Amino acid sequence: MAAPAYYHPTPLSSSRACSRSPHSPTFSSELIAASLASFPLNLQLRKRLEIRNRNTLRTLCVRDTKAPVVTKDSWEKSVLNSKTPVLVEFYASWCGPCRMVHRVIDEIAVEYAGRLKCFVLNTDDDPQIAEDYEIKGVPVVFLFKNGEKRETVIGTMPKEFYVAAIERVLKL
């Protein structure tokens, strides 16, 4: 099967591609150019995107979350002193599986609004809280009730795992 007419991949510089770091500006701009050339974008949109830098493109991909961020400054008030059960997702911005868990937590935040508070905590920004709870990897979801940790879900799991843990905490 032939490639579509709009498909014109821009090759990376083959002589230096392997020796270059994926985080170098040159590598990133070549990678962006290659991916932009592969999609059937409106020409004006393509030119605008080519002008933007790597950080701007990353910012465009951030989505609004239903679960607010909790930090070490708001931890005690939001989690430990809450009268309502609390779900906290510990994540890292570089973690791919954490993004999948974010979607599930957003759904849960909407479905359990009023009965459960949902928060997310970036372990890179607040490592002390992660150390206090002995978190060795992300994603990890903790459920708190009356300031005490009651349930833990480690790793990326189907939504049913989170819902089952929530229901157990709500029945306590």
The string of pLDDT tens digits covering residues 32-63 is 444 444 444 444 444 454 555 455 544 444 45
DSSP string covering the chain: -PPPTT-------TTTTTTS-TTSHHHHHHHHHHHHHTS---HHHHHHHHHS-HHHHHHHT----SSPB--TTTHIIIIIT-SS-EEEEEE-TT-HHHHHHHHHHHHHHHHTTTT-EEEEEETTT-HHHHHHTT--SS-EEEEEETTEEEEEEESS--HHHHHHHHHHHHH-
pLDDT at 24 over 60: no
Q: What is the mean pLDDT of residues 2-18?
A: 45
Q: What is the band of 27 on the pLDDT scale with cuts at 50, 70, 90?
A: very low
What's the pLDDT score for residue 64? 63
Active site residue 95: yes
Residue type, 59: T
Domain layout of the chain by residue ranges: 7-61, 75-171
pLDDT of residue 135: 94
Q: Give percent above pLDDT 70 in the chain.
A: 63
> Measured on CA atoms in the order 157, 161, 163, 168, is the torsion positive or negative?
negative
Please tell me the predicted confidence (pLDDT) of residue 2: 54
Q: pLDDT class for 66, splitting at 50, 70, 90?
A: confident
Residue, of 16 and 23, whose pLDDT is higher? 23
CATH architecture assignment, domain 75-171: 3-Layer(aba) Sandwich (3.40)
Q: What is the per-residue pLDDT across 90-115, written as a single tens digit (0 to 9) for each?
A: 999 999 999 999 999 999 999 999 99
Mean pLDDT of all residues in the chain? 77
Specify the length of the chain in residues: 172
Candidates 18, 61, 95, 118; catalytic one:
95
Predicted pLDDT of residue 52 = 54
Q: Count CB neighbours of 139 within 10 A.
A: 26
168 pLDDT more than 90? yes
pLDDT the model gives residue 17 = 39
User: How far does CA 143 lie from the centroid of its chain?
Assistant: 19
> Is 18 annotated in the active site?
no
More confident position, 123 or 3? 123
